[in-house]
Amino acid sequence: MSDLRKKLFYSQKNGWDIISKEEKQAVLAYCEGYKSFLNTAKTERLAVKESIRLAEEAGFVAFERGMELTPGTKVYKSVRDKALMLTVIGKKPLNEGVNIAAGHVDAPRLDLKQSPMYEDSEIAYFKTHYYGGIKKYQWVAIPLELHGVVVLADGTAVEVAVGADPSDPVLVITDLLPHLAKDQIKKPMAEAIAGEALNLVAGSVPDDEDEEGSDRVKYAVLKILNEKYGIVEEDFLSAELEVIPSLPARDAGLDRSMIAGYGHDDRVCSYAELKAIIDIDTPEKTAVCILADKEEIGSEGVTGMQSQAFECFISDLCDSQNVKLHHCFENSFCISADVTNAFDPVYPEVSDKRNNAKVNYGVALAKFTGSRGKSGSSDASAEVVGKLRRLFKDNGVIWQMGELGKVDQGGGGTVAMYMANRNIDTIDAGVPVLSMHSPYEMVAKLDCYMTYKAVKTLYENR
Ligand code: MN
Ligand code: MN
């Protein structure tokens, strides 16, 4: 290839053809840590718990108002046990801004309804209401676990976990046998499995002491729940119980280049940020890591990224230096660390191949998200992209630009616009995912590591 040709054309290379032998080892080692995080951080609450454990191990302490904050101080603030913010105080004052990475730890799932239990034809069931964007047909006839919290009448919070331990039973939603699915298989995919059909089988044995009454199977299941957790049926009213796939993260592909697992969106970026903030030395600018909740349903609510919880935390930090919050925000920079779709050669028709992120091409920047003409997107500026482009080049971060699918094919959103609305320069960057939002998503190990490296590079930037 002539030098001029080389200079003028933009060409991308598979990441494995670029990285060094040593870095290949770093990729694999990093992903071992990620897999074990994914297998523990199964819900937003469990992700916060596990992140605090890892952070405390690395010297982070719970933030308290008025505590002394000096360069190198590592603190975290939990938002009602469902979201988490961590920071390492930098050498520069906060009016020069902070470097933020914001991911989310909630994932598409099924939630138990507030009155979930019923019995029909001597089978007991739990009714569910799905959370986030799912294809309902993917959730039937697979092993499921139940995790969450039940607040009892006296205010005690009881943690529930069914299915995580290999000796536990799993919960399953039934599907029709093909033999009798003549009508079902003709329905459009969106209608084949109704939302109200996502009912988990809870039990099938009638209570043996209660021979006369109705709902004897449900009664027997309630007895089991009461024995194990001390809960009664009314306690479901004040419960958050989440149903997730019982599918541990595993290497995928004969070359083990990928990881299959539930909830890569967005724990793959959340772990990258968490590991990055744990691994950095005292940065020039204060580093902030956000693990948000409620992204999958619009970042609403007290634990979502639209909540003032973030302002409260950063303004508490600013107070310690007599800095105004808005001065800090206008000089801050945020990577909205979230996944995007990976180009899937089995379904090429939904993507513009030239612009879609690809597996093994590194962390994917998304200048904009949204749908129908970038609607609902913060659309990062050329300057913002330019800044990261230089930073990544100088620090050996393998990256690509990615657009989620073809124009007018669909779209999506992240927390980016809520960060940008705060007068913070923001851009999306994260791992490309195959089968995104399914019970068993796939990511490439190289991309996971490069997302970590990208965030670490931002944190270490002056
Ligand atoms: Mn996401
Ligand atoms: Mn998502």
Residue 260 CA to residue 247 CA, distance in Å, equals 9
- In three-state secondary structure terms, 157 is strand
Q: In this predicted structure, what is the pLDDT of residue 280? A: 98
Structure tokens of 108? 């598409």
Mean pLDDT of all residues belonging to the chain: 97
Size (the chain), residues: 462
Q: What's the gap in Å between 266 CA and the centre of ligand 1?
A: 5
Q: What's the gap in Å between 414 CA and the centre of ligand 1?
A: 6
Q: In this predicted structure, what is the pLDDT of residue 212? A: 80
Q: What's the gap in Å between 130 CA and the centre of ligand 2?
A: 13
Structure tokens of 198? 């996502």
Cα distances (Å, whole numbers) of residue 397 to 27, 214, 451: 12, 64, 8
pTM of model > 0.85: yes
Residue 395: pLDDT band (50, 70, 90) is very high
Q: ∠ CA 134-295-274 to the nearest 5 degrees?
A: 115
Q: Which helix (DSSP H) or strand (DSSP E) does residue 241 occupy?
A: strand 239-245
Among residues 314, 306, 256, the alpha carbon closest in space to that of 288 is found at 314
Q: What's the gap in Å between 298 CA and the centre of ligand 1?
A: 11
- In three-state secondary structure terms, 417 is helix
Q: What is the pLDDT of residues 286-343, one digit of tens each?
A: 999 999 999 999 999 999 999 999 999 999 999 999 999 999 999 999 999 999 999 9
Residue 305 CA to residue 266 CA, distance in Å, equals 14
Q: What's the gap in Å between 107 CA and the centre of ligand 2?
A: 7
Q: In this predicted structure, what is the pLDDT of residue 232? A: 98
Q: What is the pLDDT of residues 359-382, one digit of tens each?
A: 999 999 999 999 999 999 999 999
CA 356 distance to own-chain centroid: 21
Q: What's the gap in Å between 412 CA and the centre of ligand 1?
A: 9
pLDDT at 60 over 90: yes
Cα distances (Å, whole numbers) of residue 202 to 54, 248, 382: 35, 22, 54
Residue 290 CA to residue 83 CA, distance in Å, equals 8
Q: In this predicted structure, what is the pLDDT of residue 314? A: 98
Lowest-pLDDT range, 127-136, 406-415, 424-433? 406-415
If phi > 0 it is left, if psi is from -120 to 50 it is alpha, else beta; for residue 307 that is: beta
Place of tokens 């050498």: 91
Q: In this predicted structure, what is the pLDDT of residue 462? A: 75
Q: What is the pLDDT of residues 213-224, one digit of tens each?
A: 889 999 999 999
- In three-state secondary structure terms, 79 is strand
| Pairing between β-strand 123-131 and β-strand 199-203 as defined by DSSP bridges | antiparallel
Q: In this predicted structure, what is the pLDDT of residue 252? A: 98
Cα distances (Å, whole numbers) of residue 14 to 20, 389, 450: 13, 18, 13
Q: What's the gap in Å between 76 CA and the centre of ligand 1?
A: 22
Write out the residues surrounding ion ligand 1, Cβ under 5 A: 265-266, 338
